[in-house]
Amino acid sequence: MSSSLTFNDRVAIVTGAGGGLGRCHALALAARGAKVVVNDLGNAQPVVDEIIAAGGQAIANSASVTDMAAVQAMVDEAQQTWGRVDILVNNAGILRDKSFAKMTLEDFRLVLDVHLMGSVHCCKAVWPLMQAQQYGRIALTTSSSGLYGNFGQSNYGAAKMALVGLMQTLSIEGAKFDIRVNCLAPTAATRMTEGLMPAAVLEALKPEAVTPALLWLISQDAPNRAIACAGAGTFEAAHITLTQGLHLGIGDDVPEQLAVAWAEVSERDGEQVPGSGAAQGMNEVGKAMAAQRGE
C-alpha cells in the first residue's frame, strides 16, 4: 500500500454508511487504519461490529444529516473520542423519482434537503476543526444524473449538481488550510438502485468497485476540486469547461448573429477548465478589449 493511501491515525466520518457504498467506504477506510464514525439512520451498528471484529476502531451514529444539531453532536462526539476529524465522506442520500410533471414539491424539497443541505450541514460542522488543524479531506457524492441529466430525476439531479457547485467554492476557500474538497460520481448497485436495473448489470456494478476512487479523493496526496467518476472498476474524470467563445459586441442584430454563430461559440477546441468563476468574465472582457483595439 502507498503510504499516502493509508489512513493510520486519521479520523473519518462516513454518512449513510449502513449499507451499499457507504458501508464499503467505511470498511475500506478502517482496513487502511482510519478510525471511523459510521453514520446511518438505522443500520450503523452492524458495520461498526464488522470493523471491530476485523481489528479496527469505529463508533456508530444515527444522526439525520438533515438535522444540524444532530450533525454537530456527531462531529463533537468524534472529536471527543479521538481528538480530531480528518475526513468527511458525504454519502447519505435518498431517491424520490418521478417525472417533473408528476413530482410533488414536497419530494423535490426532501431530496434537496438530504443530499444538498445534509452535505452542507456536515461540511459546516467539520470546517472549523479542519481549519484549526490545517488539514482536511472532504468528499461530496455527486451523480451522472446531476452532471448529465436523467429522466425522472429532476430533484436528484438538481441536488447532485448543486454539490458540484459547493465543491468548487469550498475547494478554493479551503486550499490555504490544506482542506481538499472533491466530488465522487459513482455508478453502483445500492439500496437506492435495487429493482431499477437488470440483475446482470447490478452484479457488475458492485459498490466495492467504486471505493478505490473515494480513497484516492480523501488521501493525503488527494487532488483538489476534482470530479471522479467510477463504476464497475472503470474510472473517469468529469470537467466543467468553458469554450474560447466569440465576441459579437452589442447591437440590435446580435441575437441573430449568435444564432448563426452558435456552432462557432460552442467549438470545444481550446476550451479551458476555469480555476474559478472569474475566468468567464476575464475571457469575455478580454475579447471585448481586443475587439476595441481592432485585434
pLDDT at 190: 63
**Three-state secondary structure of the chain:** CCHHHCCCCCEEEECCCCCHHHHHHHHHHHHCCCEEEEECCCCHHHHHHHHHHCCCEEEEECCCCCCHHHHHHHHHHHHHHHCCCCEEEECCCCCCCECCCCCCHHHHHHHHHHHHHHHHHHHHHHHHHHHHHCCEEEEEECCHHHHCCCCCEHHHHHHHHHHHHHHHHHHHHHHHHCEEEEEEEEECCCCCCCCCCCHHHHHHCCHHHCHHHHHHHCCCCCCCCCEEEEECCEEEEECCCECCCCCCCCCCCHHHHHHHHHHHHCCCCCCECCCCCHHHHHHHHHHHHHHHCCC
pLDDT at 189: 78
Compute mean pLDDT per 10 residues along the chain, 295 residues long, and list them. 86 97 98 98 96 98 98 98 98 97 98 98 98 98 97 98 98 98 91 70 88 98 98 97 98 98 98 97 96 92
pLDDT at 295: 84
pLDDT at 58: 98
Residues annotated as part of the active site: 156
pLDDT at 192: 58
